[in-house]
Amino acid sequence: MEVTEANELTELNEGHGHKSRTALTISILAMVLAISNLGGSNAMKESTQENILASNAYSFYQAKTVRQTALKIAATDLELQLAREPQMPAAVKELHLKKIEDYKKTIERYESEPETKEGKKELLARAKDHEHERDHAMRQDPWFDYAEGMLQIAIVLLSVSIIGGIAVFYWVGSLLGALGFFSMLNGFFLWF
């Protein structure tokens, strides 16, 4: 074997090694891109779902407040009737007092119902929890977007590196891929 043939064979093997390494890197980054895409999609779904649940809880809270206010007005009206008519028959007076007592119990129940978790106090706490979960998902989502962008650009640069045999594209693509990977991880764990 002549020296020139040996040099050509060495160059061919080195080029094949670069291409294999780059192809493997692209495969790994494509997998990370798919995971990042799923994470971003799930974060947006969770954000939307939690926003709807928070809105529902606030609407239920509002409905309870309206009902509670209506009962307060009705109880006050009955109390005023009792005050205006001191000569009211005992049976009617007893019915008014019973109704006032029923209204006041319902007003208290609307304020807090720990057993059903549908009192205003519990509904407000539930709405706040849903808002917290929504906000968490909304903080996650941009990190997945950053990761997807960097990973896509990295894959393009690495592909160009294979075609053109330009080492700088490999290193820049690998660096962007690593940054995309860490952005994806931050999307899941929110370290930053």
Tens digits of per-residue pLDDT, 41-75?
Answer: 999 999 999 999 999 999 999 999 999 999 999 99
The span from the CA of 8 to the CA of 2, in Å, is 10
pTM of the model: 0.81
Q: What are 137-165's pLDDT values in tens digits?
A: 999 999 999 999 999 999 999 999 999 98
Helix, strand, coil content of the chain in percent (nearest 5): 90, 0, 10
In the chain, domain spans: 23-189
